[in-house]
Chains A and B, each alone.
Chain A
């Protein structure tokens, strides 16, 4: 008690006011920044929810070749293996999101950006990609190659 009353009153009031002022400033900054930060978050664009997409004509895809097409607004790759099987994967490399391509000379999928190699099931053969490519379901309906999510 004695120690408290010995303290100069003015300093304590000054410090209280300083803190109040600081808190008010912080509140003001928060009030301004909250809408600004929210504003900067882009609004969701319409989800493209195609159940199935026609990737191309079966006749246009010879064996040992691949073709990039759009699936749900993102690149996907459809390929025909040297054995004649048709498969489809996402074409976005799992490493740093470059577009992959089919290499007829290597007979597998390759990403040019950092030399990532995937086999014909989308599994990583070598290079930096951490995960395999996601495979899609392929159905052949007449001449059409129809790709959908598995």
Chain B
């Protein structure tokens, strides 16, 4: 008892516990969507921990990066496991974040007073994708090399600032050793710093506002967040951890071959699945649209869509008045269908 009192006097953890016990989670037929955020957070934590482990052996230099990853996979004990979990969990995190976005969007959880929670969430999705994009280059294999080349080339199509953005990303005109160091720095320092601030804000806001109740959904009561909901959250996490271990063991992520800037690009080069829809769209856009370069038009449209997504809580004036208007779910469903269709087309074309 002594230790507990001593700690409580200093940490006031009983206040935090009381707060957690007071926090309630509404129970209704869509309540399962409340887990999506926790699942995303779980994968993020896995990424942080496995990423820190990979830092013990990874060497961010163009002449050593590939070899160091091979060392991790082949020589370091359980290195293959740590690396495979990092890659698989990265994919799972993107998936979980998108699910979380969909759940929040379709239940209109972004409405007053949670606008900033939504904005920080969309920014976190951007950070997640940036993590995925920069991390992809780090093993310095052929696929990553050319994917980064294409990806940064697309960034060059952003109107006005595109060219400068591309040079800034690449650390020069081309993908070189400088790009690798730059991506490494972005991946392990800049993005983690951004993610920490945004995630801190995001989670604090969730604590302040509590769980959103969807408009006109019959709530069958509520349960305490602590310990009931939190324990079930943990059970989901343990199951996911086991799943990750199984997937990482049975389906090792291939390392490929070391990048050779002078070699021809490999056939069937495609981005990761979460970028496929953009890739396919840009491929299908005609070369010239009304006197403008097609690629630039496509990239501009994507940038505007991203901006619109960020501003959803301010655009959906019906939800602000607790009114269910079908326009936004329809727009969301259309966007979702478009992404699915383009991804499917890209997959079919690639087979």
Contact = CB atoms under 8 A, between A and B. Distances in A.
**Chain B binding surface SS class:** helix
**Chain A binding surface SS class:** helix
Task: Name the interface size band of chain B.
Answer: 10 to 19
Nearest to A21: B231
Contacts of B77: 35, 38-39, 41, 43
Interface residues of A, number: 10
B250 to A, nearest CB: 16
B78 A35 contact: yes
Interface of B: 53, 56, 71, 75-79, 81-82, 238, 241
B71 A43 contact: yes
A106 interface: no
B45 to A, nearest CB: 12
B75 A43 contact: yes
B47 to A, nearest CB: 15
Contacts of B79: 39
Given A35-B81, A35-B82, A40 B238 contact: no
B287 to A, nearest CB: 50
B56 A40 contact: yes
B238 A38 contact: no
Contacts of B82: 35-36, 39
A17 to B, nearest CB: 13
Interface string A32-48: 10011011111100000
B75 A38 contact: no
Interface in A25-69: 28, 32, 35-36, 38-43
Contact of A36 (B53, B75, B238): B53
